[in-house]
Amino acid sequence: MKKLIFLVIVLTCFSFAAFAQLGVGGAALFKSPVLIAQPIDTDKLAINQFSFGGDLRLKISEFQVEALLLYSAGNYNSITAYFDAGIAIDVAMIRLSAGAGPNFTGNFGRSPATQIGLNAKIGAEIVLEQISAGLSYIMVLNIDDGIDIATSSGLLGATVLFWL
């Protein structure tokens, strides 16, 4: 019986691997107030408005899961992990995606050590063989008194992925 269960697990993993795509790459995002109707003051642009890090995605058919790890420097240094699950639809060379999931922030310095929240993400990419480049917007949802989009912050940025 144990051999049968092991065989089913191995065959399931191989069948997923045959249809799965794994993407690895980098991301650079800007803390954008534009999409929540706040103006950008270009005179006050600073490094603490940007985040940089790695992006890992697993795509099976139209289903996609993603792990994005970002480092933010500035007044408060932090590392944030965004985990999303959702859909990714390929239309010719364009991939459109949408997803949602939890995010975890580890802060360094005087701010609270850890923070946990939710996020929603949309993206569009151009896929050229084994490389994709695109834009994405991550909205960190404020869930203290229900989801309020007007007080939620967002990250607008670019990603480049190499698909294995």
Domain that includes residue 111, residue range: 21-39+47-163
Q: Is residue 145 pLDDT above 70, yes or no? A: no
Q: Is 29 exposed, middle or buried (0-12, 13-18, 19+ CB in 10 A)?
A: buried
How many structural domains is the chain composed of?
1
pLDDT score recorded for residue 20: 81
More confident site: 162 or 5: 162
Does any domain span residue 60?
yes
What's the whole-model pTM score?
0.79
Contact 149, 130 (CB under 8 A): no
Model confidence at 154, in pLDDT bands (50, 70, 90)?
A: confident
Question: Each residue of 30-87: pLDDT tens digit?
Answer: 876 555 555 555 555 555 678 899 999 999 889 999 999 999 877 778 889 999 999 9
Does any domain span residue 12?
no
CA dihedral angle for residue 53, residue 153, residue 101, residue 126, rounded to 10 degrees:
-60
Q: How many CA atoms lie within 13 A of 53 on its CB side?
A: 19
Does any domain span residue 2?
no
- Residue 86: give its domain's CATH number: 2.40.160.20
Does any domain span residue 84?
yes
